[in-house]
C-alpha cells in the first residue's frame, strides 16, 4: 500500500511570554522580556498509508491540533521532516490544498449568509472542479447526507447536524486524497452522530480517502478506526491497533451469563462473580489468565446455560485510565 504521509522527528515550539500577577507584576509584564518555551509537538514520528483511517487521540493541549495544522500547511514546524503525498504542506500550500479536505467541528468553510447550494457552487470554481464531476459528487452526497431538505437554507440558519453534513459535502467535492476531521460529531445527537459515522466509513471504504480523525468521542474511534495514535505533552506515546490498547490496558473482561435454572452457587475457576441477580450472573476475568471460550466451556460443563455475552472493557474508560495513570510513559 502506498505511503501517503511520512513524519520524522516533527517538532513545533512556541515562545510564550511569562505573566506575572499582582500590582507589581502588572508593571513587570509591560517591560519584561521573559519567555518560556512550550514544546507543542516534540519529536513525533509516524507514517500513514493511502486509504487508512487513523484516530489521533490525546487530552486537551496534548499537541493534536498543532500536528494537524502542520499537516494541513497552516503552521511551519520548528524542526523535523514531513512529506504529504510528496508535498511540503506549508511550502507547496497553493497546490497542496487542492488535494486535501478538512472539517473542523466548531468552524465552517461555507459562506454564512448564502444558501448551502450557492456555497457549494462557489467551491466548484474555487477548486476548479469539472462540471460533470461536480454534478456527480453533488448527486451522491445529496443522497448519502440527505442534503435536499436544507440545500436552499442559509448556512446561518442550519442546525449543527445539518451544517456538519454540509461541511462534509464541501470538503469532499474536489475528491481530496486526504481528509482531516477534527471533532466531526461534537454536539450532535445520537442519530446524527451515527449518520456522520456511516458517511465517513463510506468515503473511506468506497473512495479510499485517507482520513485522520481527532476526537474526544471514543464511540467514533471504536466504530471507525482500527489504528490509533496517542499523543500527550507533544510526544507520540502509542501507535498501533485499537485492539492492542484493549489487550494491554483494558483491564478485566466480563462475561454475562443467563442460566437455565436457579443455581445457589455458580463459581468457576478463572473468574470472579461480581454481580448476581436471580438466574443471571456477571463474571470478571483477566485476559491473560483464561480465554472467554475456556471460561464458557468450564461453565457449560457444570451448568445449563440459556444465553451469554462477552463484554470488552469500555474503550473510553481505558483511554482515560491511560491518561490519568500515565501508563504509556512508564
Domain coverage including residue 128: 3-247
pTM beyond cutoff 0.75? yes
- Assign 20 a pLDDT band (cuts: 50, 70, 90): low
**Strand partners of residue 36:** 16
Determine, yes or no, domain membership for 321.
no
Residues 221 and 256 in one domain: no
Whole-angstrom distance, CA of residue 249 vs CA of residue 328: 9
Residue with cell 466531526: 184
CATH no. for residue 7? 3.40.50.300
Using CA atoms, how far apart are residues 330 and 328, in angstroms rounded to an integer?
6
Same domain, 223 and 122: yes
Q: What is the pLDDT of residue 19?
A: 66
In this structure, are 172 and 299 located in the same domain? no
Q: How far apart are CA 110 and CA 156, in angstroms?
A: 10
Which whole-number Å values give the CA distances from 238 to 188, 235, 291, in the listed order?
Answer: 28, 9, 25
Whole-angstrom Cα distance, residue 54 to residue 41?
A: 18
Strands 3-17 and 35-49: antiparallel
Looking at residue 23, its pLDDT comes to 58
Task: State what percent of residues in the chain have pLDDT above 90.
Answer: 62
For the segment 53-109, what is each residue's pLDDT rounded down to a tens digit? 999 998 888 899 899 999 999 999 999 999 999 999 999 988 999 999 999 867 788
In this structure, the answer to whether residues 226 and 142 fall within a common structural domain is: yes
Whether residue 328 is contained in a domain is answered as: no
E strands of 249-291, at which residues?
253-259, 272-277, 280-285
| Per-residue model confidence (pLDDT) at position 128 | 92
Evaluate if residue 17 carries a pLDDT over 70. Answer: no
Q: Are 279 and 260 in contact (CB under 8 A)?
A: yes
> Is there a single domain that holds both residue 133 and residue 71?
yes
Q: Residue 221 and residue 232: Cα distance in Å, rounded?
A: 17
* 25 pLDDT above the threshold of 60: no
| 272 and 197 in a common domain | no
Please check whether residues 186 and 259 belong to one and the same domain.
no
Bridge partner residues of 276 (DSSP): 281
Amino acid at each position: 500500500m502506498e505511503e501517503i504521509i511520512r513524519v520524522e522527528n516533527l517538532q513545533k515550539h512556541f515562545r510564550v511570554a511569562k505573566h506575572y500577577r499582582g500590582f507589581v507584576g502588572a508593571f513587570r509584564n509591560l517591560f519584561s522580556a521573559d519567555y518560556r518555551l512550550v514544546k507543542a509537538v516534540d519529536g513525533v514520528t509516524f507514517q500513514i498509508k493511502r486509504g487508512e483511517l487513523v484516530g489521533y487521540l490525546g487530552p486537551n493541549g496534548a499537541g493534536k491540533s498543532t500536528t494537524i495544522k502542520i499537516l494541513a500547511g497552516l503552521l511551519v514546524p520548528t524542526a523535523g521532516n514531513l512529506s504529504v503525498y510528496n508535498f511540503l504542506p506549508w511550502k507547496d500550500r497553493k497546490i497542496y490544498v487542492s488535494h486535501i479536505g478538512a472539517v473542523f467541528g466548531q468552524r465552517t468553510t461555507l459562506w454564512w449568509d448564502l444558501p448551502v447550494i450557492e456555497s457549494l457552487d462557489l467551491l466548484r470554481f474555487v477548486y476548479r472542479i469539472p462540471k460533470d464531476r461536480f454534478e456527480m459528487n453533488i448527486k451522491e452526497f445529496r443522497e448519502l447526507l440527505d442534503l435536499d431538505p436544507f440545500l436552499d437554507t442559509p448556512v446561518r440558519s442550519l442546525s449543527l447536524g445539518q451544517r456538519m453534513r454540509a461541511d462534509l459535502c464541501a470538503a469532499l467535492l474536489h475528491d481530496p486524497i486526504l481528509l482531516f476531521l477534527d471533532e466531526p460529531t461534537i454536539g450532535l445527537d445520537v442519530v446524527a452522530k451515527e449518520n456522520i459515522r456511516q458517511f465517513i466509513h463510506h468515503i473511506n471504504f468506497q473512495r479510499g480517502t485517507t482520513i485522520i480523525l481527532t476526537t474526544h468521542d471514543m464511540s467514533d474511534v471504536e466504530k471507525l478506526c482500527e489504528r490509533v495514535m496517542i499523543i500527550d505533552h507533544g510526544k507520540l506515546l502509542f501507535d498501533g491497533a485499537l485492539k492492542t490498547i484493549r489487550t494491554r490496558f483494558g483491564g478485566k473482561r466480563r462475561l454475562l451469563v443467563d442460566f437455565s435454572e436457579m443455581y445457589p452457587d455458580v463459581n468457576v475457576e478463572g473468574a470472579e462473580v461480581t454481580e448476581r441477580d436471580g438466574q443471571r450472573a456477571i463474571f470478571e476475568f483477566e485476559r491473560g489468565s483464561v480465554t472467554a471460550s475456556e471460561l464458557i466451556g468450564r461453565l457449560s460443563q457444570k451448568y445449563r446455560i440459556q444465553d451469554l455475552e462477552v463484554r470488552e472493557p469500555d474503550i473510553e474508560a481505558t483511554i482515560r485510565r491511560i491518561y490519568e495513570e500515565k501508563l504509556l510513559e512508564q
